[in-house]
Chains A and B, each alone.
Chain A
Amino acid sequence: MNLRNRQLIPSFARPPSRVLIRKVARYEEDLLAIIYESLREFSLPIKDKTVLLKANLVGHDPVGSMNTHPAVIAAARESFLKLGAKRVIIGDGPALDRDTQAILESVRLTEFTGCLKFGVGADFVDLNIDDVERVSLETRASLLKELYLPKTVLGADFFVSMPKLKTHHWAGVTLSMKNLFGIVPGSCYGWPKNILHWAGIDRSILDINAAARPDFVIVDGILGMEGNGPIQGNPKHTGVLLFGDDPVAADSTACRVMGLRPEKIDYLSRASTMLGHIEPSKIQQLGEPIASVRTSFAVVPAFQALRDQESK
């Protein structure tokens, strides 16, 4: 099955979602064991399938608070292979710099993954310059009627969004759903993908997620970013990895970990009708309880209303 054949199911007709939180203090821990064991709890249908890991690679990041950490990406790749995936592709379409190779060099991805093949039959796909296919945006949440999206995304059997835990100066937070801006190809829409800003960031997030439908989420929250994210904020150590089989539920849980109210985030609130669950009662919480890892994240002044009671 690929993503093009998938049905959109209203949230009220969906079974409860599952989100798992693991405490991971440092990137030097045995991430392969942690991620492998965490994925096993979900019994994912990935045997002999092609899995796409959509990382969040933004740019030069000496502190390690901006990009999905390469150790997490590499451990996730190994874990999916160990669980029986036929092929695991890592992909992203960075938003601001078209020199994806320079970004990969700067994040030292291959130091963790080993040699990666680029181009035809690649282990890493630059989604900005992938072949594209027209996708009609049935949800019409934004002003966009269609987008041309990468064939690697549309053809993947199992699609995993792997964001960093960050606040965002325009969207409130950038997690697994906002991470999908990175599948919109720069070669068609530019660096940045400014057409999405004009169409409305929150509503574009809904349209893209409804079209591409991530199957699974792994949030790198070991070191996140607070304040003026997604680039110029401050590092925030949270010490968690978060896994989920529903992007809305995973992002809502991540917000609660950050001391933010997901219901107040426009795109998450809207997504809860069609794309997944936002209410804690519809989310089966596994692993660590939220309260044990909760860390208040600072936000820019425009988003102060997102902060929960304890954060105020």
Chain B
Amino acid sequence: MNSLAPSAASQNHESFRALRAELFSHLRDAQNSEGGWPFHASGESRVEPTCWALLALANTSESSQASIARGFEFLRAQQLSDGSWPAAGGMSSGGWVTSLAALAHAQFLASEMLGAPGSLSEPGSSLSAGPVRNTIVAALQWLCDDYPRDSSRWQKFLKNFSSAKHESHNNEFRGWGWTPRTSSWVEPTSFALLAFASATAGAPGSRSEPGSFDLSPQLAKQVSERRELAVGLLYDRMCAGGGWNCGNPRVYGVDGESLILPTCWALLALRDAPDHPNRGLSLEWLQKSFAAISSPGSLAVAQITLQHYGIAVRESSRRLCQWSAADLAGQGTHVAAWSLLALNPSRHWPVPS
């Protein structure tokens, strides 16, 4: 080998850095004038891509303070009076993206508490600690008050008369639905748990107790109760052999197949939950499935998940570099943001334990 040729490792390092820089530019350029991000460039700003873009930008070392501030201004303008966020502008009721918005705000507050460079939380601004905490508390209260309908007493009563005996799960547990007053599903339940974890953990590394985040004793109790039910639901809904799909592990007696993204979100949400054999089994399933992942969105989130559990994943960043930043952004701002997070070795989300 020619000793002057760059090693494969340094070439890889350079390509990671180049893709990271391109993704960063893409995200920054895709921001709309009102501060939000669309799923696709020049589209309408939406809460979900805005949250993922903010989480990704807040985890980079590049200067993006102005973008981040405008992004949070968009989120604050979108929040409904009941504390929730709508999935699309104009919708009159909140939904699953409330958890993502609460998570983004909590992460922002945590990074500010750490004294991240270029602090945005000037006293008196809407991004100072007080208003941001109030925003998060309102969102958590909405989440605690939002009970899915599938496990209500009335629904349990009705099921006694149903001839459809295809459900395999325990309806004593409750998580969250994608929209209010529907059924519990794995992904929205996981996002709510992640929001709870971020909001009640305080600054990264402090691992303070729930309630220390200016939660009233009543809200802290509600959070704790909902968390317990939701963790139970996730473990109960695991597919045979490990991993999760949307939340139907068995239909008409047939096992459902696990999917990468629901499995990752559930594992991230269960990181600090009491240990359970299903978590280990699902982690094993994800490890076994990792090599066969063919899409960048799933690859990026799987990498983040496994690394969060301290599991080294070989070649994953190199595999992400198969795609250009434009290709990744073409699949949506969320995919670009997940990829940027995955390629960032110093990310502070998900909070390292």
Cβ–Cβ < 8 Å partners of B257 in chain A: 59-60
Are the CB atoms of A101 and B246 closer together than 8 Å? no
| Per-position binary interface string of chain B over residues 37-65, scored 1 when its CB falls under 8 Å from any chain A CB and 0 otherwise | 01111111010100000000000000000
CB distance from A203 to the nearest CB of B (A): 16
Q: Which of A169, A188, A190 touches B188 (beta carbons < 8 Å)?
A: A190
Are the CB atoms of B90 and A119 closer together than 8 Å? no
| Per-position binary interface string of chain B over residues 306-349, scored 1 when its CB falls under 8 Å from any chain A CB and 0 otherwise | 00000000000000000000010111101100000000000000
Are the CB atoms of B183 and A194 closer together than 8 Å? yes
Cβ–Cβ < 8 Å partners of A99 in chain B: 259-261, 295, 297-298
Interface flag for A120 (CB, 8 Å): yes
In the complex the two chains form, what is the Cα distance from A302 to B183 in whole Å? 22
Interface flag for A198 (CB, 8 Å): yes
In the complex the two chains form, what is the Cα distance from A118 to B297 in whole Å? 14
In the complex the two chains form, what is the Cα distance from A106 to B260 in whole Å? 13
Provide the main secondary structure of the chain A interface.
loop
Are the CB atoms of B295 and A191 closer together than 8 Å? no
Are the CB atoms of A232 and B251 closer together than 8 Å? yes
CB distance from B320 to the nearest CB of A (A): 13
Are the CB atoms of B177 and A194 closer together than 8 Å? yes
Interface flag for A272 (CB, 8 Å): no
In the complex the two chains form, what is the Cα distance from A59 to B256 in whole Å? 12
Are the CB atoms of A131 and B87 closer together than 8 Å? no
Are the CB atoms of A189 and B179 closer together than 8 Å? yes
In the complex the two chains form, what is the Cα distance from A98 to B177 in whole Å? 15
Are the CB atoms of B330 and A118 closer together than 8 Å? yes
Are the CB atoms of A102 and B182 closer together than 8 Å? no
Are the CB atoms of B298 and A132 closer together than 8 Å? no
In the complex the two chains form, what is the Cα distance from A187 to B260 in whole Å? 18
Give the residues from 237 to 274 in chain B that come closer than 8 angstroms, CB to CB, to chain A. 245-246, 251-252, 254, 256-257, 259-261
Are the CB atoms of A102 and B178 closer together than 8 Å? no
Interface flag for B185 (CB, 8 Å): yes
Are the CB atoms of B252 and A132 closer together than 8 Å? no
Interface flag for A134 (CB, 8 Å): yes
Interface flag for B28 (CB, 8 Å): no
Interface flag for B3 (CB, 8 Å): no
| Per-position binary interface string of chain A over residues 205-239, scored 1 when its CB falls under 8 Å from any chain B CB and 0 otherwise | 00000000000000000000000100110000000
Are the CB atoms of B246 and A191 closer together than 8 Å? yes
Interface flag for A148 (CB, 8 Å): yes
Cβ–Cβ < 8 Å partners of A117 in chain B: 330
Q: Which of B90, B91, B96 touches A190 (beta carbons < 8 Å)?
A: B96
- Number of chain A interface residues as a range: 35 or more
Provide the main secondary structure of the chain B interface.
loop
Interface flag for A192 (CB, 8 Å): yes
| Per-position binary interface string of chain A over residues 94-106, scored 1 when its CB falls under 8 Å from any chain B CB and 0 otherwise | 0011111110011
Cβ–Cβ < 8 Å partners of B188 in chain A: 190
CB distance from A94 to the nearest CB of B (A): 11
Q: Select from chain A the residue with minimum beta-carbon distance to B188.
A: A190
Given contacts A120-B40, A228-B252, are A134 and B90 in contact (CB under 8 A)? yes
Interface centre among B178, B181, B185 (most CB of A within 10 A): B178
CB distance from B87 to the nearest CB of A (A): 4
Cβ–Cβ < 8 Å partners of B206 in chain A: none
In the complex the two chains form, what is the Cα distance from A245 to B275 in whole Å? 57
Cβ–Cβ < 8 Å partners of B87 in chain A: 148, 187-189
Cβ–Cβ < 8 Å partners of A130 in chain B: 39
Q: Select from chain A the residue with minimum beta-carbon distance to B41.
A: A120
Cβ–Cβ < 8 Å partners of B335 in chain A: 101
In the complex the two chains form, what is the Cα distance from A192 to B298 in whole Å? 18
Q: Select from chain A the residue with minimum beta-carbon distance to B42.
A: A120
Are the CB atoms of B259 and A232 closer together than 8 Å? no
Interface flag for B351 (CB, 8 Å): no
CB distance from B192 to the nearest CB of A (A): 13
Cβ–Cβ < 8 Å partners of A126 in chain B: 331-332
In the complex the two chains form, what is the Cα distance from A9 to B311 in whole Å? 60
CB distance from A297 to the nearest CB of B (A): 16
Interface flag for A300 (CB, 8 Å): yes
Interface flag for A195 (CB, 8 Å): yes
Are the CB atoms of B177 and A190 closer together than 8 Å? yes
Q: Select from chain A the residue with minimum beta-carbon distance to B180.
A: A195
Are the CB atoms of B185 and A194 closer together than 8 Å? yes
Are the CB atoms of B254 and A119 closer together than 8 Å? no
Q: Which of B48, B261, B327, B329 touches A97 (beta carbons < 8 Å)?
A: B261
Q: Which of B44, B179, B251, B295 touches A131 (beta carbons < 8 Å)?
A: B44
Cβ–Cβ < 8 Å partners of B251 in chain A: 169, 228, 231-232
Interface flag for B158 (CB, 8 Å): no
Q: Which of A59, A119, A187, A300 touches B41 (beta carbons < 8 Å)?
A: A119
What 10 new A-B contacts, CB under 8 Å, besides A129-B39, A187-B87, A197-B183? A60-B257, A99-B259, A101-B296, A101-B335, A102-B294, A105-B294, A119-B330, A169-B252, A188-B88, A194-B185
Q: List residues of A whose CB falls within 8 A of some B CB.
A: 59-60, 96-102, 105-106, 117-120, 122, 126, 129-132, 134, 148, 169, 185, 187-195, 197-198, 228, 231-232, 300, 302
22 contacts between A and B (CB under 8 A): A59-B257, A60-B257, A97-B261, A99-B259, A99-B297, A99-B298, A101-B295, A101-B297, A117-B330, A120-B40, A129-B40, A131-B39, A132-B44, A169-B251, A188-B87, A190-B178, A194-B179, A194-B182, A195-B178, A198-B149, A198-B181, A232-B251
Nearest 8 Cβ contacts at the A-B interface: A190-B178, A119-B330, A101-B295, A102-B295, A118-B330, A129-B39, A188-B87, A105-B294
